Structure 1
Amino acid sequence: MNIFAHYRKRLQRCLALLMLLPLVVLANPDPATGKRLKVGVTLHPYYSFVANIVGDRADVVALIPPEANPHNYQPQPDDITRAMNIDVLVVNGIGHDEWAFEILKAAGNRDKLPIIQANASVALIPIGGDQDGAKIVNPHTFVSTTAAIQQVFEIARGLGELDPANASAYRHNALTYAGRIRALRAQFMTRFAGLDLSKFRCATTHAGYDYLMQEFGLFVSAVIEPRHGVAPTARQLATTIDTIKKANVRVLFAEKNFSMGLAKPIEDATGVKVFALSHITGERYSADEFETAMRENLETLADAVEYTQK
């Protein structure tokens, strides 16, 4: 009996420990359990993409201030702090946000932080209308609908791999968001269907709209400012004016908020009509900024094409 009593007491102690185990687990939770992903982004469009993909299941952190010009951005101390507190970074990765890697290096996590290359599955095209004839990859894939949708799915896939618990929700949200972008494109495809695009000729003050033009079968005859922020020389400007005249260009697209001043002398010298397109960089980050800016761009593009029909 003494032996049975001994084992009974041991069994009782074991059962008591098992009953306490859940309390121990609750008192010392696994840090990875239930953690909200902090997704860093480099550009305004990617903020919209990620915000729509993650919904309320993760936090979106913009790496640089909303009013900053990403073309010639110089990293600041606050950027480094933000870079140290994100779990993953979504980047353009093909020339539009090289400063992001400087920030990561300064933050000490360049080789540790997961990077989602938004353009990993996008068919890239060179900058159009470059006077030097150089074949340089155009990084402005986000100023489009088709390439934007491809990036949305690539980002959702990458986030799902990092956050499997929410992967299904990310895929669902990406499909819903892509559906809205497709509907926007379809609306303007219908409008363009009744227009004669064969004689449309345009020039731009910045090589940021080739992907958008390509979607509608339009091409850029001349780019006045192939490198953003680098003003054309007098010779380049004269060459551009000559190209515009010879190509019978009637429309010049200037970059809203940046290069309207550059367009004025071209307008005066050639008689082209100037239209403003958004580069989708602004003073705020929001989930709806991409859709709002793209709708304005498509309206402007359609108005420009209709102008040339007169």
Structure 2
Amino acid sequence: MKNAPMMHSPLKNRFYGSFGLTQNFLNIYLNISYMGKKKKNLVIFLIIMLMLIFSLFTNISSQQIPKKINYVADYGINKQNSSIKIMSFNTIVADWISNVIGEVGEVEAIVKGSTDIHTYTFTSLDVQKVASSDIFVKMGVSGLEPNVDDLITSANESSGGKLKVFTLKNSTNDKNFGIKMKYDPLIESINGHFWMSPLNAIKLVKKICNRLSQYYPEHEEEFNNSRDDYLYELDQLMLRINTTYTYFYNETKIIVNHPSFLYLFDLLGIQRIGVIESQQGVEPSAQDIANLVNLIESEDIEIVVTNPQHSDDHVIQIARESEIKISYLTPLLGVYNLETYIDMIDYNCIALYNPIDPPTDPFMNSTMIFLIIFVITIAAAIAVLLYIRFRPKEMDPEII
């Protein structure tokens, strides 16, 4: 048999170093060079397959779980030639006002979309907008409109004290417009998210109409007509809750990320068994999460509820560990393409019935994929090396 030609010294020194792995790859290269055509094609095919496997792993491992895309509306209801400009702190109040004021004025909310109303800090632009408006409507709940009084004071200084301000929430003794807020045992304090009940919305829409009629008596008839049309829609919403949605959820047990939905869940007959964020801005401890996981198992809970205004990291962790589903609801507008209060309540009731599985852990996915591909690659490489090492020897045709 012919001997393989000796490599030129510089090339040899480049490949033959202190690393045995380099020498092995050189041997593979030399053996492939002197293989028969069929064997050479087989080895080349295996190498190409290994390259494709590595390429596949690179593409998969570089992918990340897409974040939920929350539609954030520029929640301002603007009408040309409108004579009345009204500002509110959140989108819920803005929607109620827009359904009363009709074409007479324009309404804009300060806090929009997935922004957390508990921690919002007003800006100089907010002050300018409020100062240039005719009316500012407060919700009137401590903790849900941070520094709103400072905002009003700054706006009044800029406008020369012309800004009209009124508060939606009245004393519970007010028979017409009074709202009674509920004590929430999960957070051991009063729950201020009273707008999540359409029954309270009906009272507050009436109050908005009453106050606007006092400010602008020349538009009272228009306000009353718009109010009546909207109250009919709210009555229809309550009819859906009482006859349809309640049927699906009565006595359902859930865990919540934030206590935003107490008033709606009470209407639906849903029992909130535990809460992840019991205090605003306070992260749950590892023991808190472990307790919730145990509670989910003991109470046979199948759903954890969260909303886009708060982080869902702990929600996903608990859902994975407990093997339960997640329902994504919202207490505010400007997300999930929701731009009206009625659509939001309908959406929340339907979303509860259609929970989703928590996203898979991207780290675990990448690790498993890497291990599988690594094993396949090593096995293929060993197969190639064994084939080259123990392949049948071919006789030199010149010797024969």
Give the TM-score of the pair, scaled to structure 1. 0.76
Deviations 1:158-186 (A, max 9, x none): 21121122123212212211211221231
In 2, Cα distance between equivalents of 1:65 and 1:195: 31
Partner of 1:31: none
- 2:96 paired residue among 40, 49, 72: 49
Partner of 1:234: 286
Residues 192 and 302, structure 1, Cα contact 8 Å, conserved in 2: no
Mapped to 1, the partners of 2:280 and 2:129 lie a distance apart of 26
In the alignment, the residues of structure 1 paired with residue 271 and residue 340 of structure 2 have an alpha-carbon distance, to the nearest angstrom, of 26
1:165 aligns with 2:218: yes
Deviation at 1:128, TM superposition (A): 4.4
The amino acid that maps onto 2:184 is I
What letter corresponds to residue 252 of structure 1 in structure 2? V
How far does the alpha carbon of each residue in 1:210-236 deviate from its partner, in whole angstroms, 9 at most, with x for none? 010111222311111133443222233
Return 60-69 or 70-79, whichever deviates more: 60-69
Which of 155, 165, 168 in structure 2 is aligned with 1:118? 168
Write the distance in 2 (CA, Å) between the matches of 1:269 and 1:68. Answer: 28
Unpaired runs of at least 5, structure 2: 1-80, 171-177, 356-400
Report whether the alignment pairs 1:256 with 2:333: no
SS at match of 1:126: strand
Contact 1:40–1:60, Cα closer than 8 Å, also in 2: yes
Deviation at 1:145, TM superposition (A): 1.7
Distance 1:117 1:283 in 2: 25
Q: Which residue of 1 aligns with 2:145?
A: 97
- 8 Å CA contact 2:115–2:309 kept in 1: the answer is no
> Match of 2:328?
276
For 1:98, the aligned partner's letter is: P
Deviations 1:8-28 (A, max 9, x none): xxxxxxxxxxxxxxxxxxxxx
Quickly say closer, same or farther: Cα 1:116–1:215, change in 2 above 3 A.
Answer: farther
- Alignment map for 1:1-310 (pairs within 5 Å): 36-64=83-111, 68-95=115-142, 96-108=144-156, 113-120=163-170, 121-130=178-187, 134-135=188-189, 137-192=190-245, 194-195=247-248, 197-198=250-251, 200-256=252-308, 258-282=310-334, 288-303=339-354
SS of corresponding position for 2:191 = coil
Structure 1 residues 265 and 283: CA distance shift in structure 2, 3 A: closer
Aligned in 2, Cα 1:275/1:291: closer, same or farther, shift over 3 Å?
same
SS of the counterpart of 2:184? coil
Q: CA deviation at 1:196?
A: 6.9
- Kept in 1, the 8 Å contact 2:94–2:109? The answer is yes
- Which AA in structure 1 matches 2:271? F
Residues 234 and 284 (structure 1), Cα distance of their counterparts in 2 relative to 1, 3 Å cut: closer
| SS of 1:93 mapped into structure 2 | coil
Q: Distance in 2 between matches of 1:235 and 1:228?
A: 18
From the CA coordinates, give the structure whose radius of gyration is larger: 2
Distance 1:107 1:192, change over 3 A: closer
**What SS does the corresponding residue of 1:161 show, helix, strand or coil?**
helix
Cα distance in 2 between the residues matched to 1:284 and 1:163: 35
Aligned pairs, number: 265
Query: How far has the Cα of 1:277 moved from its partner?
Result: 0.6
Preserved contact between residue 89 and residue 138 of structure 2 (Cα < 8 Å): yes
- Counterpart contact for 1:37–1:59, Cα < 8 Å: yes
Deviation at 1:209, TM superposition (A): 0.1
Provide the secondary structure at the position in 2 that maps to 1:63. Answer: strand
Distance, in Å, in 2 between the alignment partners of 1:109 and 1:175 is 37
Q: What is the alpha-carbon distance in structure 2 between the residues aligned to residue 118 and residue 35 of structure 1? A: 23
TM-score by length of 2: 0.60
Is the 2:90–2:112 contact (alpha carbons within 8 Å) kept by the matching residues of 1?
no
Q: Which residue identity does 2:123 align to in structure 1? A: Q
Shift of 1:285: 10
Distance 1:185 1:303, change over 3 A: farther
Give ranges in structure 1 of 5+ residues lacking alignment: 1-33, 305-310
Contact preservation (8 Å) 1:256, 1:279: no
Provide the C-alpha distance between the structure 1 equivalents of 2:97 and 2:336, rounded to a whole number of angstroms.
15
Q: Distance in 2 between matches of 1:40 and 1:275?
A: 32
Q: Taking structure 1 as reference, are residues 258 and 35 closer, same or farther at Cα in structure 2, changes over 3 Å only?
A: closer
Using the TM superposition, name which of 84-93 and 205-214 deviates more. 84-93
